[in-house]
Structure 1
Amino acid sequence: MIPRVRSPELPQNYTWLNTDKPLYLKELRGRVVILDFWTYCCINCLHVLPDLKYLEQKYKNSLTVIGVHSAKFDNEQEIENIRQAILRYDIEHPVVVDKGFRVWQEYAVRAWPTFIVIDPEGYVIGQVSGEGNRDILDQLIEKLIREHQKKGTINFQEISLTLEKQRQPLITPLAFPGKVLATPEALFIADSGHHRLVMSSLEGEIFHLIGNGKPGLTDGNFSTAQFFAPQGMAFDAVNQILYVADTENHAVRQVDLKRQIVETITGTGEQSRNIHPHGGAGLETPLNSPWDLVKVENSLFIAMAGSHQIWQMDLDSGMISTYAGTGTEGCVDGSLREAVFAQPSGITTNGEELFIADSEISSIRGVGLIEPYQVRTICGSGNLFGFGDVDGQGEEVRLQHCLGLTYANNFLWVADTYNHKIKLVSPKTGNCQTFIGDGCAGLQDGQSKSTRFFEPSGLSVIDSHLYISDTNNHAIMCVDLNTLEVRTLQLPGLCAPDVCIQKNF
């Protein structure tokens, strides 16, 4: 807790989102106000959004939450990118864009996320950082309401807002697709914003929609099953099983294509708070934002973004445990036990080594699957603030919040997400070169480097084609690796769940 001081006023000449006008703290007197200092790349900031939504609903007549977006990465300073993040994560409270960290500094904030609590008389009476503070905030809000009811300084009324999702409804056929997986049988698309999977031919003919499009954790057939912002996938061609990282359910799901049934195989539906290496039976072990998967023989390896670790599940026994990473956030090479990662969000393999898109340190890591089982940094600075857009070798390379990668033909194809580019990395030499994209956010088909993407985050190669999940464009792109021609994949007949007449594919 911090001393009781008058809250500095919020800047009115900055950009505000999710509201048609800036909010003055002095005009919010009579209400409890929580300032949420966040940046949209941060997994911890995303983890607290359900807590804020709970509190906003519980105290909707007496609490106002204001997001203060203080950007870490250069790309996160762009207004349109912040707007897209608000839409992607269904944020329903006002957000002020904290240009130059002015508000951050005025409130002496030191970490993401941080909550500043302001009482109905306009005084700062509390500050708390990190995850897992919902109960603390709940009790404090309740206490403040009681105290100010007695004093007659509380004002019970619901505030009306104009939300970004009202201005820009998600009615596109795909919504923020996170990952894509190309196989000889089908193309699988994680339609993350629509909470479902799309299964099509490599040319875009729809085979199946898996999940009913409503967020939830429900097993069952393709039309009744529910996911919550699914991301990475792995495919077992022999048994016709698709494994899915069901990220916001903190679970891994199994899609049996023969039986057309979805089942949960690990995770409890609750976020794990244990960041220390551990393990247990799959269905009894809580997970922490599994973001991507790769299958090696009969093991499923998981990029566990929330706990900054790599996990392994034995598909025979159903047991799951930490494979590498201490659970702290940073970059430490060495043995599996001493290695440190920073929000690993992409995973692929050549059978001897796992390759990781370690997003918060904007680096590509290697994790040994054979002796001596070492973790190494292939390219990137390995620093939490060492990002940019620089091709080159090893440590001199600069990426910006890379989220996806795939291994093919002895190279790694990397989704350099916040640079809006696809890059090619040699896992042997650490050489990194821009392959596709001119670095400007946009949607533009065409030839190689003249093309444009908007925060691409998933990749998959099959034969001579590279498929790209172009997240903020709500599109899948296809690259002919022989001609370097880039085109937007057409998905005839696909539509958003809320606007689509139910079809039987």
Structure 2
Amino acid sequence: MEWLNTKGPLELKDLKGKFVLLDFWTYCCINCMHILPELKKLEQEYGNQLVVIGVHSAKFDNEKDAANIGEAILRYEIEHPVVNDDQLKIWTTYFVSSWPTMYLIDPEGNVVYLRRGEFQAEEIQQVLNAAIPYYRQNGTLNEKPIEFDLLAYSQEPTQLRFPGKILADEASNRLFIADSNHNRIVITNLEGELQDVIGTGEIGSADGDYASAQFDHPQGMALVQDTLYVADTENHLLRKIDLKNKKVATIAGLGRQGTSNETWPGMGANPTVDNLPPRYIGTPKTTAINSPWALWPHEDSLYIAMAGPHQIWKMKLDESEIGPYAGNGQEDIVDGPLLPSIPYQQGFSSFAQPSGLTSDGKTLFVADSEGSSIREVPFNPRASVKTLVGTSKLSSARLFTFGDVDGTARRAKLQHPLGVCYVDGVIYTADTYNNKIKAIDAKTGAVKTIAGTGKPGTADDPAQFDEPAGLTHAGGKLYIADTNNHLIRVLDLETKQVSTLEIKGLKPLPVKNRPQAVAGGNAQ
């Protein structure tokens, strides 16, 4: 099998004397993303006793490719070996049935612990703290450190690093770029000339001026007059940036991932009043949120693609309340009324990792990535969620039906789209895992590829992309966050010509350096 983040293949016998944690994951999965920080905590605390092995068992076809897995390793800043289990051989051997799943193997080679789903580092710490003295006393614990040859050590500095979302404002001639892996927001004009950089580049959550503020892998943005709202995704926060006074402030979230019990804030109104959906609301600064991914302003509210709990949330712009707007919290592609009266109740709308938002002023269009679908969410709270393109009408496998097919809404298939942008009756879509930009008729759902060969690359003619994730529009052009290429691309909607935006004045940030050799360590 193909191994990444290490010099060569590993076998369990190579790791005799170590605790080995097998993390079965796939890089599209939000639940898998959530446990990566927990794994990092364990690796830092038990660096001499524990080795984590990522077993990448793909869901989507695009995720089977080792080069794409390598990009995901870099994007998520993974510091342990990963094996490409593209044929699900290890998955089958260990009887795995869902992502993520974790097995802990002891220094003698015995499986001693199993955990399905998300978990906190403290849970595994308790197991290790209880077990380490036993194996240490028996002399079977190898506590010599191991250094792995990480992909990060071979990277070249780039101006942008895995840009996720992008927002153009034609009126002010500004382009806002979520420079996600540089943990900052970059502002240029529409021609690419640098205007400002917001954030130190270091992971953190500090508020303050542009030079001292910090973010953690920000994604979606929304502009309301002179305020830029930011989905600070891995901080599980919403931030707002005063563009006049150049100040960053936190307006929602607790700085940690909201749990499933916190998906539903307190009931703020009787669900039967005026036949409106129930209102689960809390105060923004005291309500835990979970992986906000995209934002859209409408009237007096900010709509949020909350990828973690598979819902659309809504926050008043006066910051008085926040809570779910659509989605019963179950991961699925199901149409129906916006919200249930009882959390997770069947018969109501379901989403699957919503990751992109746009609107025609009447309807909110959602890139529902895990179901490879484009959804319609009404601003009218009495109306129901519908699917424009996707899998909602299937009786089964709604989250596992995908492809690269243009045509009518009934025939068309997408593969994990992350971005949408409405322009004059057309929803332009970043069909991320197909490496294409597609145009969807907002009324009929008919799909047509307008750029991208399907093969990853950086060519302008014929156009190639590598997992594009964000789209925005200004002056007859689409601006595209070409994530794995670390570039911003420009698609002229009239000529269909693609070019690469040159960002003038932005300095690359340093890359991760290879550490000095550890005495007694083994390079892998």
CA contact (8 A) 1:194 1:496 kept: no
Aligned to 1:64: 51
Aligned to 2:345: none
Q: Kindly provide the CA deviation profile for residues 68-94 of structure 1, in whole angstroms up to 9, marking residues without a partner as x.
A: 000110000111111000001100000
CA contact (8 A) 1:179 1:232 kept: yes
Q: What secondary structure, in the 3-state scheme, does the structure 1 residue paired with 2:71 have? A: helix
Aligned to 1:340: 350
CA deviation after TM superposition for structure 1 residue 277, in Å: 3.2
Q: Structure 1 stretches of 5 or more lacking a match?
A: 1-13, 500-505
CA contact (8 A) 1:67 1:94 kept: yes
- Aligned pair partner of 2:494 in 482, 486, 495: 482
CA contact (8 A) 1:440 1:453 kept: yes
Read off the aligned partner of 1:486 and give its amino acid letter: V
2:222 pairs with 1:222:
no
- Aligned pair partner of 2:140 in 129, 140, 153: 153
Read off the aligned partner of 2:107 and give its amino acid letter: P
Q: Kindly provide the CA deviation profile for residues 178-203 of structure 1, in whole angstroms up to 9, marking residues without a partner as x.
A: 01101022100000010001100000
Aligned to 1:463: 475
2:246 pairs with 1:244:
no
Aligned to 2:293: 291
CA contact (8 A) 1:196 1:230 kept: yes
CA deviation after TM superposition for structure 1 residue 317, in Å: 4.1
CA contact (8 A) 1:250 1:269 kept: yes
CA contact (8 A) 1:265 1:318 kept: no
CA–CA separation in structure 2 for the residues paired with 1:371 and 1:209:
38
- Aligned pair partner of 1:379 in 371, 389, 397: 389
CA deviation after TM superposition for structure 1 residue 463, in Å: 2.5
CA contact (8 A) 2:231 2:294 kept: yes
Task: Out of 386-395 and 100-109, give the one that drifted further.
Answer: 386-395
CA–CA separation in structure 1 for the residues paired with 2:417 and 2:408:
17
Q: What secondary structure, in the 3-state scheme, does the structure 2 residue paired with 1:348 have? A: strand
Task: Out of 130-139 and 454-463, give the one that drifted further.
Answer: 130-139
Task: Out of 408-417 and 144-153, give the one that drifted further.
Answer: 144-153
CA contact (8 A) 2:338 2:381 kept: no
CA deviation after TM superposition for structure 1 residue 475, in Å: 0.3
Q: Kindly provide the CA deviation profile for residues 246-267 of structure 1, in whole angstroms up to 9, marking residues without a partner as x.
A: 1000011101000000001111
User: Structure 2 matches for 1:263-342, cutoff 5 A?
Assistant: 263-274=249-260, 276-278=263-265, 279-337=281-339, 338-342=348-352
CA–CA separation in structure 1 for the residues paired with 2:304 and 2:91:
34
Aligned to 2:372: 362
Read off the aligned partner of 1:256 and give its amino acid letter: D
CA–CA separation in structure 1 for the residues paired with 2:264 and 2:349:
11
CA–CA separation in structure 2 for the residues paired with 1:331 and 1:459:
23
CA–CA separation in structure 1 for the residues paired with 2:88 and 2:71:
20
CA–CA separation in structure 2 for the residues paired with 1:56 and 1:317:
38
CA contact (8 A) 2:333 2:391 kept: no
CA contact (8 A) 1:392 1:432 kept: yes
Aligned to 1:166: 153
Read off the aligned partner of 1:235 and give its amino acid letter: L
Aligned to 1:48: 35
Q: Kindly provide the CA deviation profile for residues 45-82 of structure 1, in whole angstroms up to 9, marking residues without a partner as x.
A: 00000000000111000000000000110000111111
Q: What secondary structure, in the 3-state scheme, does the structure 2 residue paired with 1:46 have? A: helix
Task: Out of 378-387 and 32-41, give the one that drifted further.
Answer: 378-387
Aligned to 1:254: 240
Aligned to 1:8: none
Q: What secondary structure, in the 3-state scheme, does the structure 1 residue paired with 2:370 have? A: helix
CA–CA separation in structure 1 for the residues paired with 2:193 and 2:50:
48
2:81 pairs with 1:94:
yes
- Aligned pair partner of 2:404 in 347, 367, 389: 389
CA contact (8 A) 2:158 2:509 kept: no
CA deviation after TM superposition for structure 1 residue 485, in Å: 1.4
CA–CA separation in structure 2 for the residues paired with 1:478 and 1:422:
11
2:444 pairs with 1:429:
yes
Q: Kindly provide the CA deviation profile for residues 256-295 of structure 1, in whole angstroms up to 9, marking residues without a partner as x.
A: 0000000011111110003643331111111100000000
Q: What secondary structure, in the 3-state scheme, does the structure 1 residue paired with 2:89 have? A: helix
CA contact (8 A) 1:277 1:325 kept: no
Aligned to 1:11: none
What's the TM-score once normalised by structure 2's chain length? 0.90
Read off the aligned partner of 1:303 and give its amino acid letter: A
User: Structure 2 matches for 1:380-459, cutoff 5 A?
Assistant: 380-382=390-392, 383-446=398-461, 450-459=462-471
CA contact (8 A) 2:372 2:390 kept: yes
- Aligned pair partner of 2:198 in 186, 191, 210: 210
CA–CA separation in structure 2 for the residues paired with 1:42 and 1:19:
23
Read off the aligned partner of 2:168 and give its amino acid letter: A
CA deviation after TM superposition for structure 1 residue 360, in Å: 0.2
Aligned to 2:161: 175
Aligned to 2:64: 77
Identity, in percent, stands at 50
CA–CA separation in structure 1 for the residues paired with 2:508 and 2:110:
45
CA deviation after TM superposition for structure 1 residue 242, in Å: 0.5
Between the two proteins, the alignment pairs up a number of residues equal to 480
Q: What secondary structure, in the 3-state scheme, does the structure 2 residue paired with 1:99 have? A: coil
CA contact (8 A) 1:445 1:487 kept: yes
CA deviation after TM superposition for structure 1 residue 225, in Å: 0.3
CA 1:443–1:402: 2 relative to 1, 3 Å: same
Q: Kindly provide the CA deviation profile for residues 441-490 of structure 1, in whole angstroms up to 9, marking residues without a partner as x.
A: 111113xxx21000000000112111000000000001122221110000
CA-based RMSD: 1.1
CA–CA separation in structure 2 for the residues paired with 1:116 and 1:399:
33
Q: Kindly provide the CA deviation profile for residues 118-152 of structure 1, in whole angstroms up to 9, marking residues without a partner as x.
A: 01100111110111242221111222212212222
Q: What secondary structure, in the 3-state scheme, does the structure 2 residue paired with 1:214 have? A: coil
CA–CA separation in structure 2 for the residues paired with 1:36 and 1:167:
24
What's the TM-score once normalised by structure 1's chain length? 0.93
Read off the aligned partner of 1:330 and give its amino acid letter: D
Q: What secondary structure, in the 3-state scheme, does the structure 1 residue paired with 2:201 have? A: coil
CA–CA separation in structure 2 for the residues paired with 1:481 and 1:349:
18
Aligned to 1:10: none
Read off the aligned partner of 1:342 and give its amino acid letter: A
CA–CA separation in structure 2 for the residues paired with 1:92 and 1:437:
32
Q: What secondary structure, in the 3-state scheme, does the structure 2 residue paired with 1:189 have? A: strand
CA contact (8 A) 1:393 1:432 kept: yes
Task: Out of 386-395 and 203-212, give the one that drifted further.
Answer: 386-395
Aligned to 2:514: none
CA deviation after TM superposition for structure 1 residue 403, in Å: 0.3
